[in-house]
Amino acid sequence: KSHSADGGQEYDLSLVYYNRLTLPEQRLYSAIVGAAERLDEYSDTVDYYYDSDNLRNVLISITAEHPELFYLREDGVTVGGSGTSVRAQLSYIGTPAEIDMMMSELERAKAEYLSHIPDGADDYTAALALHDALIRGCSAPDDGDDNPLYNCSYGALVLGKATSKGYAQAYQTLLGEAGIYSFLEYGQTDNGSETVWNTLYIGGGYCCTDVLRDDPAFASEPSLVLHPYFCVTRETAAGAYEPFLPDLYSSDTSPDYYQSQELRAGSPEELNTLLVREIGKACAAGADYFELAIGYETGQNEFYDTVISAIGSVRDETGAGILDVCDIYPLVSENGVYMIGLQYPPQNTPDKLSGP
């Protein structure tokens, strides 16, 4: 994909980060990418001087735009030389033979994930299928488990463990295989906390997805998939994080997952109907949680009473063993997205683990 920049120059739209680099940074970017593709220890010589900020910009850009170079250790790349004639020294996560084996494993894992896309699926349906499959197949690492492979697509797709960067890079990889254009977005808070999400082109416009934040990782329901950060606006995805990129591609609207799945209530009557249906489905499946969205103003107490009333209706109609209590978790309050937690008598939930 390409379009005209100011002055009519054509540039590759798929290289969002590369296009924002200075000319010297672009030269270093190309030199490092070329060396990494060949698994060389040193890049070609570049006739410029670089400081640590230049190198950081370049490495962030490469990571964001080249998920296939997952084996490049970003923290192990240095630049040195004499005067303005410098070259980069690269570091990898394994030997060429080990990396070749990992790439073969990654190809097999990608094929398995891509098999979840329904035949004839449009881009939105394909993106949703990959989102759900990735959440079911991956989880965040345990505290203290800081394997660097969790920061890349290999960790997510092959090892089944990933950080926000690993989830995002894996999703980017899968979207690319499905023919869907996307790129990574970095965000940072004032205290230095960082996260990574995806911006993707769906249905003629850009929207954002944060797969990690849609993975609840509940011990009681490890396969539970949520969607509050699937195909949302950039403002929703960023939240309290300050994006690294300027706002060049986002729009004020995005596809509404909850509307498309008939999970958004536009009135109290619709909410009651939705709750009865979803509580009934949850009871039949033995599920503790489900998600929904509300498209109108309602008080917390009123919302809770409506859920309890719907629980009673389901129990009266089906005889389901479910208690007259519930938990309501705001997922993205400004979008009216919530998760409902149900409770069952102990005899109806054998061997249950702890909840969220």
Selected residue with higher pLDDT from 265 and 318: 265
Q: What is the mean pLDDT of the chain?
A: 88
pLDDT at 111 over 90: yes
pLDDT at site 245: 84
pLDDT at site 239: 87
Angle, alpha carbons 210-212-218 (nearest 5°): 135
Q: What is the pTM of this model?
A: 0.88
Distance CA 321, CA 11 (A): 61
Query: Which residue intervals of 96-150 are DSSP H helices?
Result: 96-114, 123-137
pLDDT at 351 over 60: no
pLDDT at 352 over 60: no
Distance CA 54, CA 65 (A): 17
pLDDT band for 1, please (50, 70, 90 cuts): very low
Closest CA relative to residue 173, chosen from 184, 163, 162: 184
* 3-class SS of residue 241: coil
Return the H-helix or E-strand segment holding 341: strand 337-342
Q: Cα separations (Å) of 346 from 148, 321, 324, 327, 354?
A: 41, 10, 14, 17, 13
pLDDT band for 334, please (50, 70, 90 cuts): confident
- The 3 state secondary structure assigned to 284-338 is HHCCCEEEEEECCCCCHHHHHHHHHHHHHHHHHHHCCCCCCCEEEEEEEHHHCEE
